[in-house]
Structure 1
């Protein structure tokens, strides 16, 4: 079952990557008491994720935070090493929180997993965005196609804040 507006995020342990490396962070610890924009991507370094989805959040970083958001986080079913490299490569290190859901446990718990085995990518995440306040989903935008980044883009989030 897919998570819905009004639902509380399930707890899981993710890897938050930064300049000092990766550290374990629980969903409860990261989202509790904060307003967070979270967007999920099928894979770091993939064309739509790197060229269309992520750049909008970097370009609108200040505008999003200016509307009462404490953090913007991107999550992918990739390991922490890939997410660390993507943070550096994208120029988003220090602006966005890059979360690695290496085994996809959190993504599956959300009901937002996507089997891309036919393309040789295995099980990944659907492309989505959400506004989470105090661990509760306030808005949820799920793309119908992983090749699109419109419904889940930064412009849509700005409309919802």
Structure 2
């Protein structure tokens, strides 16, 4: 059945492509955060273990919301490691870094998600796609706040 939500198919495709990149970044960040949750050690163990759990739990919900928006626009959401690796701007971390390096890597990944989300706005604005723009705004707020909280652990 045809989709008639007031956004042209070409515009929906552009937005879905951008959201697919955001989905890949978000899922990659989810995996990185969960990995660090499992493997963190040192004097900040308890704090970071709990903080990382809170973060990956939030990211798991976000992945679903982003994928569902892609589907609502009429396109298939990427869902394989191969697709995520091709689409993501966030690279996997080799080995198990020290706790402070984990924090630094997560700050960088959170900021990558913000940049990806921000890059999709022009397509949303051009198509008057407020639901996608709202989703992007929410994601940027979460990622910017999380990056700030993580960054504050490295100061002082």
- The TM-score with structure 2 as length reference comes to 0.30
More helix by share: 2
More strand by share: 1
* Higher Cα Rg, which structure: 2
